[in-house]
């Protein structure tokens, strides 16, 4: 099972750790990025738990209740973290729009996790809606960023790198979760291999988060 993900799960785990260690070292200097250090820690713990259960129960691990609950806790924390980032990153005149759509997304989370399904089921449909929402916000953030004179170089803008990470994460997840119902019935043997795109997306996010953190600490030290 682990080899079917081409060890991208272990890569994601390693990159999360690469973010966590310097993140806690610079915790007081990185402002809002602190929540993403906690997010990385939660990801590290959730992935570690998953890998451990796969080793113990390689044939039916995905239906383990603790896996399903931990994934739900993680994606809900993820949604709150990304919403907070975009709300604070947009200009004041756009924040009301972001807040309105954020309330809609949070309402969908409550409905999806209580009425449509429950905390003991994996959040597949929620991941698609969440992904499309944050992809749209990422594109809107790029438009805002490039339509205004930059205060600092783009390559040193920590918000730019965070938006890149979020965009690349969901650009990997959304196609995977859209195709998963079809592939599970047509080509069930390839599903485990396609899950590598899930870990590739998170690996790309952690790389961008690390770059964002470097930009933030560099600006703080000037």
Between 102-106, 135-139, 159-163, 167-171, the lowest mean confidence (pLDDT) is in: 102-106
Residue of 212, 101, 89, 211 whose CA lies nearest to 148: 89
Dist CA 109 CA 41 (whole Å): 22
Residue of 78, 85, 8 whose CA lies nearest to 43: 78
Average pLDDT over residues 191-199: 75
Mean residue pLDDT across the chain: 85
Q: Which residue segment(s) compose the domain that 111 sits in?
A: 3-221
Between 34-43, 57-66, 207-216, the lowest mean confidence (pLDDT) is in: 57-66
Dist CA 180 CA 200 (whole Å): 16
pTM above 0.75, yes or no: yes
Number of folded domains that form the chain: 1
In a 13 Å sphere around the CA of 49, the CA atoms on its Cβ side amount to 16
Between 86-95, 183-192, 194-203, the lowest mean confidence (pLDDT) is in: 183-192
Domain CATH number, residue 168: 1.20.1070
Contact partners, residue 180, CB within 8 Å, separation at least 6: 124, 191, 194
In a 13 Å sphere around the CA of 146, the CA atoms on its Cβ side amount to 8
């Amino acid at each position: 099972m682990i080899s079917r993900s081409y060890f991208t799960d272990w890569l994601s785990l390693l990159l999360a750790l690469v973010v966590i260690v310097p993140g806690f070292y610079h915790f007081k200097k990185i402002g809002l990025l602190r929540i993403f250090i906690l997010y990385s820690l939660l990801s590290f713990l959730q992935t570690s738990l998953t890998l451990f259960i796969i080793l113990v129960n390689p044939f039916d691990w995905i239906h383990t209740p603790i896996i399903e609950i931990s994934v739900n806790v993680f994606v809900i924390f993820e949604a709150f973290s990304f919403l907070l980032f975009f709300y604070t990153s947009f200009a004041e005149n756009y924040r009301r729009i972001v807040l309105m759509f954020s309330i809609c997304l949070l309402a969908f989370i409550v409905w999806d996790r209580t009425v449509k399904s429950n905390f003991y089921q994996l959040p597949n449909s929620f991941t698609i809606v969440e992904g499309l929402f944050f992809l749209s916000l990422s594109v809107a953030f790029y438009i805002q960023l490039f339509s205004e004179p930059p205060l600092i170089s783009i390559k040193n803008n920590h918000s730019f790198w965070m938006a890149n990470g979020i965009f690349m994460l969901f650009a990997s997840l959304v196609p995977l979760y859209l195709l998963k119902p079809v592939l599970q019935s047509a080509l069930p043997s390839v599903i485990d291999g396609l899950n590598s795109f899930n870990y590739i997306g998170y690996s790309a996010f952690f790389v961008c988060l690390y770059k964002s953190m470097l930009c933030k600490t560099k600006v703080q030290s000037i």
